[in-house]
Amino acid sequence: MSDRGNVSLAVLEDRAKFIRTETVRLTKIAGAGHYSSTFSCAEILAALYYAQLRIEPAQPDWPDRDRFVMSKGHVAIGLYPVLADLGYFDPSELDTYTRLGSKYGDHPDMKKVRGLDFSAGSLGHGLSVGVGMALAGRATSRDYRTYVLLGDGELSEGQIWEAVISAGHFGLQNLVAIIDRNGLSIDGHTEDVMKIEPVHERFASFGWDVQRIDGHDLPSLLEAFRNLPGGGTGRPQAIVCDTIKGRGVKRMEMSLDWHVGNLVGEDYDDVMAELDAGLKPYEPELAE
Amino acid sequence: MTDMQHESEIFRGTTTGKTAFKDTRSVRGTPKAGMPAFVLGEELAALAKSDPRIVVATADLASANRTNDFRDAFPDRFFNFGIAEKNMITAAAGMAACGMIPYVATFASFSAILGAEQIRTDCAYPKMPVRVVGTHSGMSMGFYGTSHHALEDLGMLRCMADLTVVCATDANHLRGVLRASVDHPGAMYIRLGRGRDPEVYGTVPEITFGKAIRLREGTDLTMIATGSQVRAALDAAEALAGEGIQARVVDMHTIKPLDRDEIVAAASETGAIMTVEEHNVTGGLGSAVGEVLLDLPRLPFLKHGVPDCYVEVGPPAALYAKYRLDAAGVAATAREFFTGRG
């Protein structure tokens, strides 16, 4: 991506909008989809894929490419359109989403999806995958970074903390965990279902460098990426992104009703129009 | 070597207060001639000399499974994950996705049973060339008890698609398995015994996964054995020969994919089949062979293994005797099977 690093905020905002509208469109094909946990990380995905990752879509197996592991695999619906948009595959393939024989299921399969660095779906595994990729980078003297996008609900999985401990122990400075701290898991607020705060302190206590930012603010995301140190041995990097589950569609923001859903008829058209108009300020008093 | 000596060696160092040894065999002096050694780390180090893709990991058991032999040779390609098997197996899949060929070893109770979902979801499903090694399988951990036994691993893992499941028979056989495994496509589970298993192979055999090795000819019945039970079956066949019963013995080292042709040949040429395994009789080798026999004309068939229970604690030799998985027990079982059939 030759223009990487010079991409404008307007372009990134537009790509975040594209991630949201494509999520709504693809969900209609499937009849059910993960809207709100994709909306919470739309800016994160846009900033990563259009401004940060060192990738060459024409060479998906390039050994020196940065790796991206989507640990919260149910957000594949937001990742597929990005990969198609970047040229990994023909966007028309997205029209098969979840239909019998499609390469594109609700959870992503690396053996079918060009440009996908690892499969996902069982929460709690992705950071371990990233640890292995980072160790392999060190063992082969390659300077790529490995980025892992984690949900906040999956931080209850014990394997996450096995991986957190090991990344600190091995000094994997080339490993970046991005936590989509959207506040909700399926059954409620994370702090009610299973408390994870103070999440930044928890990572720091295991030897990680931690930044905590507004995960919908693109300049903050880009600055956090700029703050990442070079590879080599040191401290693994965590970016805790405070986000709003369902961000961008008023009825979904911080709602427990839209983890999985399906918009039909006028609702579909209304939401598409709402997204097309761009993000409005978040008004928490309207949230459930 | 007595069983009690063996048990103290599982956690080498605990009796002396040391945590690791360059060569634990020296702790007890020079090994007896012909005594098999745990060659896992040594063989992997030999293979790694010419193959930079090979990396090795363990979960705080480098001395028990001898991966410390690899660590000493290639410290930069060895990773001790501590007591965190799930992270180890999934991280190995991440390494494999970046071109490495990881061998990850710990007790079978923890690599196969604790790590089953990681083996399925992160290794087999994405076809990652991870070699998950389960040492001290079956009930070879003796009096350490059910938490440390693995009598269900074959059953759990052989229903996972795109996973090769192999049992090593002895030290030379393990060397052959490891050599054949390097470029084998996809994920693999390699099941080992206590690491000092009695010798079956005088030299390193050429291993083809999915192709059984016929070790003894016979006309009256076939004993299809795997892993630790191959030696017992051979010794049992020898005893039966003295009584006029000629038993064929097959080393079915690959549980998946299974050598169907060898089973069909055993059925048609010897007319009776007995499987022998250090595993629950549900789900393991016997069940796998039985699935093949369902398609064939009916014949006398016996699954010999551990009954569907959690076994007693005790020294391994005592357990093998109790559950008739020593040579005498296998011979007695085969004798009853042969003479009792109609």
Mutate to test the interface with B, among A129, A141, A150 (most CBs of B within 10 A): A129
Q: Tens digit of pLDDT per residue, chain A (288 long)?
A: 445 668 999 999 999 999 999 999 999 999 999 999 999 999 999 999 999 999 999 999 999 999 999 999 999 999 999 999 999 999 999 999 999 999 999 999 999 999 999 999 999 999 999 999 999 999 999 999 999 999 999 999 999 999 999 999 999 999 999 999 999 999 999 999 999 999 999 999 999 999 999 999 999 999 999 999 987 779 999 999 999 999 999 999 999 998 899 999 999 999 999 999 999 888 876 554
Closest listed residue to residue A49, CA positions, set A231, A218, A244, A230: A218
Residue A60 forms contact with B (CB below 8 Å) = no
CA B93/CA B102 separation, integer angstroms: 8
* A2 within a domain of the structure (yes/no): no
Give all strands of the β-sheet with A175-181 in edge-to-edge order.
Answer: A67-70, A146-151, A175-181, A237-242, A209-214
Residue in B closest to A128 by C-alpha: B91
CA A160/CA A72 separation, integer angstroms: 12
Residue B334, class by beta-carbon neighbours within 10 Å (0-12 exposed, 13-18 middle, 19+ buried)? buried
Assign residue A207 a region: left if phi > 0, alpha if psi is -120 to 50, beta otherwise?
left
DSSP-derived 3-state class of residue A185: strand
* A168 within a domain of the structure (yes/no): yes
Q: Which residues of A touch B95 (CB under 8 A)?
A: 132-133, 135-136, 139
Instruction: Give the other-Cβ count within 10 Å of A262's Cβ.
Output: 15
| Residue B39 CA from chain centroid, whole number | 13
Residue A171 forms contact with B (CB below 8 Å) = no
pLDDT band for position B341 (50/70/90)?
Answer: low
Which run of H or of E encompasses B275?
strand B273-280
Give all strands of the β-sheet with B54-58 in edge-to-edge order.
Answer: B78-80, B54-58, B101-107, B131-135, B187-191, B163-167, B254-256
Give the dihedral sign, CA B260/B189/B232/B307: negative
Residue A141 forms contact with B (CB below 8 Å) = no
Residue in A closest to B87 by C-alpha: A128
Residue A107 forms contact with B (CB below 8 Å) = no
pLDDT band for position B45 (50/70/90)?
Answer: very high
The per-residue pLDDT for range A236-276, each reduced to its tens digit, is: 999 999 999 999 999 999 999 988 999 999 999 999 999 99
The predicted structure's pLDDT at residue B9: 47
What CATH code is assigned to B213-340? 3.40.50.920
Residue in A closest to B78 by C-alpha: A139
Complex ipTM above 0.90?
yes
Measure in Å the smallest separation between the Cα of B89 and chain A Cα atoms. Answer: 8
Residue B57: beta bridge partners? B79, B104
Strands B101-107 and B131-135: parallel
Peptide bond into B257 cis (omega under 30): yes
CA A20/CA B320 separation, integer angstroms: 62
Strand locations in chain A, DSSP E? 67-70, 146-151, 175-181, 184-185, 188-189, 209-214, 237-242
SS (H, E, C) A256-282: CCCCCECCCHHHHHHHHHHHHCCCCCC
The predicted structure's pLDDT at residue B187: 98
Which run of H or of E encompasses B224?
strand B221-225
Expressed in angstroms, the distance from the first to the final Cα of chain B is 41
What is the percent of chain B where pLDDT is above 90?
A: 87
Domain spans in chain B, listed from the N-terminal domain onward: 3-191, 213-340
CA B295/CA B258 separation, integer angstroms: 14
Measure in Å the smallest separation between the Cα of B263 and chain A Cα atoms. Answer: 34
Residue in B closest to A122 by C-alpha: B121
Measure in Å the smallest separation between the Cα of A131 and chain B Cα atoms. Answer: 6
CA A62/CA A122 separation, integer angstroms: 27
Q: Which residues of B touch A121 (CB under 8 A)?
A: 121
CA B155/CA B107 separation, integer angstroms: 17
The predicted structure's pLDDT at residue B340: 84
Residue B162, class by beta-carbon neighbours within 10 Å (0-12 exposed, 13-18 middle, 19+ buried)? middle
For chain A positions 190-219, those within 8 Å of chain B (CB to CB) are: none
Residue A158 forms contact with B (CB below 8 Å) = yes
Of B84, B97, B125, the CB nearest to A162: B84
Pure H helices in chain B: 3-10, 40-48, 68-73, 85-97, 108, 116-118, 153-157, 171-181, 229-241, 260-270, 285-293, 316-322, 327-340
Residue in A closest to B88 by C-alpha: A128
Mutate to test the interface with B, among A68, A110, A123, A131 (most CBs of B within 10 A): A131
Query: What are the CA-CA distances from residue A239 to residues A149, A200, A208, B178, B254 (Å)?
Result: 10, 8, 10, 41, 46
Residue B122 forms contact with A (CB below 8 Å) = yes
Residue A185: beta bridge partners? A188
Total domains in chain A come to: 1
The predicted structure's pLDDT at residue B28: 37
User: Do residues A119 and A127 touch, judged by C-beta distance below 8 A?
Assistant: no
CATH code of residue A79: 3.40.50.970
Residue in B closest to A169 by C-alpha: B81
CA B128/CA B13 separation, integer angstroms: 35
Tell me B57's DSSP state: E
Q: How many CB pairs under 8 A join A and B?
A: 101
B94 and A130 within 8 Å at the Cβ level: the answer is yes
User: Do residues A240 and A213 touch, judged by C-beta distance below 8 A?
Assistant: yes
Backbone phi, psi, residue A10, to 5°: -60, -40
Q: Which residues of A touch B91 (CB under 8 A)?
A: 128-129, 131-132, 135, 163, 166
Residue A283, class by beta-carbon neighbours within 10 Å (0-12 exposed, 13-18 middle, 19+ buried)? exposed
Q: The whole model's pTM is what?
A: 0.93
The predicted structure's pLDDT at residue B37: 61
The predicted structure's pLDDT at residue A259: 87
CA B55/CA B48 separation, integer angstroms: 8
CA A251/CA A248 separation, integer angstroms: 9
**Mean pLDDT computed over B187-195:** 93
**What are the tokens at A190?**
């994370």
**Fold for domain B3-191?**
Rossmann fold (3.40.50)
CA A251/CA A266 separation, integer angstroms: 14
Domain span including residue A29: 9-286
* A1 within a domain of the structure (yes/no): no
pLDDT band for position B196 (50/70/90)?
Answer: confident
